[in-house]
Amino acid sequence: MPLKVNAFFQINHLAGWTPHLNSSPRNQTHQTRHSMDDVVGSAAAITATGKKRPRLLRHTKSKPKEEEEEEEEEEEEAPKEVDIEDLGFCRDETLEIREFLLEWYDRNQRDLPWRRISSGDDEDGSERRAYAVWVSEVMLQQTRVQTVIDYFNRWMHKWPTICHLARASIEEVNEMWAGLGYYRRARYLLEGAKKIVEEGGVFPKTVSALLKVPGIGDYTAGAIASITFKEVVPVVDGNVVRVVARLKAISANPKESVTIKNFWKLAGQLVDPSRPGDFNQSLMELGATICTLLNPNCSVCPVSNHCRALSLARQNSSAQVTDYPTKVVKSKKRHEFSAVSVVEILEGQDTIEEFQPDGRFLLVKRPDEGLLAGLWEFPSVLLGVEADLATRRYAIDQFLKKSFNLDLKRSCTVVLREDIGEHVHVFSHIRLKMYVELLVLRLKGQRRVLHGKPDSKTMAWKSIDSKALSSMGLTSGVRKNAVKLVAFHPIIACSVVQESSIPIVPAKETVDATTAEAVAPAKPKAPIKLLPS
């Protein structure tokens, strides 16, 4: 008899469900599913002992009343959390999720420009599709889809193939990327393109080969390999983590390396072998449009019947689908302060009644490594703490004297020096508060000093006219600062933002888009007169 009971248990348990002999079929609609490894391990342990039986397959031997009551109470307890390493999708569940998701994706996928580029039947078609997928996936990291569309179209128009991109300069790439943020992504795209072209120009087709390209990690490699070359591999981004965490009600910290590894394993179980790229896109599409972070639309979700988080929410009013994945407390951003000086060098007369179009502006190139690597910005000085106007001006004066040999008391005349206002720019780990000033100078007997090449070996800089500003790879912070110059210097403001998505608004209505804090800069003085040095 024990052998028969064990055999019955193993067969049914391996099929993905646990028989409840004292329950009606109606009560078996929501069953806890287990991974095959977990099930096989449990069944083997039971067979080995020959004595231990499932709790619900009861002996006919009577028990004391107290023990029966305790057992009933145990059965009514909420299900215990299962270790993420023991979770998995059973065969029937996997097949249904694949079918329902792909059917939903075929009907509801968004019309995006990188999806319109077909692989075709030839090698060139696959190369074009792989390149487009690569560019789009890199742009989409940490950036909204609607923002990426225009950038992607401009990028592909200028560099339609990987060979075209490989011939570009870092300045051109930064110019095209300006405003997207996380500029290291653009540099890696260029470096990766150069490496592929140098090695023969054949686009890598497998994850293992793609991972050798600079800047391509597990996610990007999986996306390119599955979408373009049909390799059966998963992709895991924030959307996939959210969907899988809710399907299995996973409460483990999604930022821990062990948890991330298991999300990749679970996603790998689901990938459809016949349509791996479409399935991966469907999983990400579901997370982006239906299974969203704060407002999931479970009523139209194609896989809601397999969602453990939704099942728990229906059983317990205190539980919510949005409880998964677990919210991780973000580390506090470091506060930094800087003084920024928009320095314009004038030529010609000693007085001006309006801004001259032939002025030249100082730009400094940031180091090739670190934050905003290789981008151009107006001269700035990091301040240790929040500082008053006099302290900020002294720091700028010392920087200009040391870096450009510009002594505001001896080598040049100050035409205008105006405090423009403040601007807060938020990075992933830094909250930078910038104090912006406009400084208009005229050199004394050294009018050509800034037209040559920079002498500094540690800092690259150049002086350019206002027209050239529009073609520079400037940081979004510089472009936002330019908005504040509208009332003070319309020539430079229009030059900097004309290629940007940042709208020009009147100074009295200027708003910091990052912090939504109104900025009220002082009114400019007009006409502008020569100030004593």
User: In one letter, which amino acid is 63?
Assistant: K
CA dihedral sign of residues 258, 263, 264, 266: positive
Q: In this structure, how many other beta carbons lie within 10 angstroms of the beta carbon of residue 206?
A: 13
The yes-or-no answer on residue 231 being catalytic is no
- b/e code 484-513 from CB counts within 10 Å (16+ = b): bbbbbbebbbbbbbebbeeebeebeebebe
Q: 228 is written with which tokens?
A: 């373009």
CA dihedral sign of residues 316, 320, 321, 326: negative
Distance CA 51, CA 162 (A): 66
User: For residue 69, what is the enclosing H or E element?
Assistant: helix 65-76
Distances (CA, A) of 506 to 134, 502, 511: 39, 13, 10
- On whether the CB atoms of residues 83 and 246 are closer than 8 A, the answer is no
Distance CA 426, CA 267 (A): 33
Helices (H), 159-275: 162-166, 170-177, 184-198, 207-210, 218-229, 238-247, 257-270
Q: 356 is written with which tokens?
A: 């001259």
User: For residue 346, what is the enclosing H or E element?
Assistant: strand 334-346
Q: What share of the chain is helix, strand, coil (3-state, %, to 5)?
A: 45, 10, 45
Distance CA 124, CA 210 (A): 18
Task: Single out the catalytic residue among 127, 137, 175, 377.
Answer: 137
- On whether the CB atoms of residues 41 and 118 are closer than 8 A, the answer is no
Distance CA 262, CA 324 (A): 15
How do strand 334-346 and strand 380-383 relate by DSSP bridges?
antiparallel
Place of tokens 């700028």: 396
- b/e code 404-425 from CB counts within 10 Å (16+ = b): bebebeebbbebbebebbebbb
Q: 230 is written with which tokens?
A: 């049909």
Q: Which of 517, 477, 339 is nearest to 417 (CA)?
A: 339
- On whether the CB atoms of residues 392 and 383 are closer than 8 A, the answer is yes
Q: Which of 506, 32, 9, 25 is nearest to 312 (CA)?
A: 32
Dihedral angle at the C-alpha atoms of 237, 241, 247, 253, nearest 10 degrees? 170
Catalytically active residues, by annotation: 137
